[in-house]
Amino acid sequence: MKIALKTLVSQFLNSADESVHGFRRLYNIGVQGSREFNLDITGNIKTVVLDVNANKTANLPQDYISYSKIGVLNDKRRGGYL
């Protein structure tokens, strides 16, 4: 069952008889906590620099699961691609 963070914060404020003025502060605390919790559960993010093959592809590492960002670094020392 999924419950939105917005709903959780609203329910907490309601049950604690607090005003809605603290909503933004509590919501931001919840967002930061969920990000830290997510990293604890899913593991560490690994950043890897890959060489680009002649056919403009790159071989992914053996421990590759998924990617979040892919980009091209324009570096003249390495032939223009990474």
* CA pseudo-torsion sign 70, 79, 61, 36: negative
Supply 28's token pair: 């931001």
First vs last Cα of the chain: how many Å apart? 42
Q: What is the pLDDT of residue 56?
A: 84
Total-model pTM:
0.42
CA 6 from centre of chain: 19
Q: What is the pLDDT of residue 81?
A: 46
Domain boundary assignment for the chain: 5-42, 45-82
Q: What is the pLDDT of residue 15?
A: 85
**Are the C-beta atoms of 52 and 58 separated by less than 8 Å?**
yes
Mean pLDDT per 10-residue segment, the chain (82 residues): 80 82 86 71 68 87 78 62 44
